[in-house]
Amino acid sequence: MTSSFHCLYSFRRCPYAMRARLGLLFAEMRVELREVELKNKPAQMLTISPKGTVPVLQLFDGTVIEESRDIMIWALEKNDPQGLLYTKGAGQIDALIEQNDSEFKYWLDRYKYADRYPEKTQTEYRQCGEAFLQVLEGLLIKHPFLLGDNVTLADVGIMPFVRQFAHVDRDAFYSLPYPNLQVWLKRWLQHPFFLQAMVKYKPWCEGDELVLFPSYG
């Protein structure tokens, strides 16, 4: 790499890439952004990360970070002005994100693409996914964020997946008996960092001008 910026390969609608971008925003870190077209993944990304999934962060020293959780943690270990890593609650954070990434994501995929998984109905898949929503609702009864009065990595790491679940059928989601979770999600959807994270960029091609994220300045 010749750029003085770290380089993030991302895809706007991917929840993993979404939380990586949010982690960078909370860390107040600017990177070169390369928006990926999933049907035409750039050779440069596949060279450094043959698994071919986003996000991928290539540091300007050549180091490659291929997992969204690792990107968030790496950025926040550099700078964490709002205390998202919340070391006293690190075990809770890890457990919640792990449950999100394994159990909840499994049911989310089947709920969203129910026609590909005819073993259950879409409603049944939604109900399976609700087990995790109930856990989150129980936490949010007590305070505005998952682990207290302030945002932590748990909120950032989980919110994009709850958003995706909600957007499969918004009417169904907002009719469910999870009022605190619904308020939490709505508040996130209006958060300035989320709005910045969701700005649209055209797919990157070799030779394009440098695009920085976030785009201010």
Per-residue pLDDT at 1: 45
The burial class, CB within 10 Å (0-12 / 13-18 / 19+), for 22 is buried
Q: Is 80 exceeded by the pLDDT of residue 93? A: yes
Q: Is the peptide bond before 214 cis (omega within 30 degrees of 0)?
A: yes
Q: How far apart are CA 102 and CA 79, in angstroms?
A: 28
Q: Which residues on adjacent β-strands are paired with residue 10? A: 35
Per-residue pLDDT at 87: 80
Characterize the bridge pairing of strands 31-35 and 56-58: unpaired
Q: Pinpoint the alpha helices (H) of 30-169.
A: 43-48, 68-78, 90-99, 105-112, 122-140, 153-168
Q: How far apart are CA 44 and CA 6, in angstroms?
A: 14
Q: What is the mean pLDDT of residues 37-41?
A: 94
Domains of the chain with bracketed CATH: 7-82+195-213 (3.40.30.10), 87-192 (1.20.1050.10)
pLDDT confidence of 215, banded at 50, 70, 90?
A: confident
Q: What is the mean pLDDT of residues 29-56?
A: 96
- Comparing CA positions, the residue from 215, 145, 149 lying closest to residue 185 is 145
Q: What is the pLDDT of residues 155-178, one digit of tens each?
A: 999 999 999 999 999 999 999 999
Q: What is the pLDDT of residues 123-156, one digit of tens each?
A: 999 999 999 999 999 999 999 999 999 999 999 9
Q: How far apart are CA 200 and CA 36, in angstroms?
A: 12
Q: Please state the pTM of the whole predicted model.
A: 0.95
Q: How far apart are CA 13 and CA 64, in angstroms?
A: 22
Q: Please report where in the chains the tokens 């291929």 appear, as a residue.
A: 66
Q: How far apart are CA 163 and CA 157, in angstroms?
A: 11
Q: Which residues on adjacent β-strands are paired with residue 134? A: none
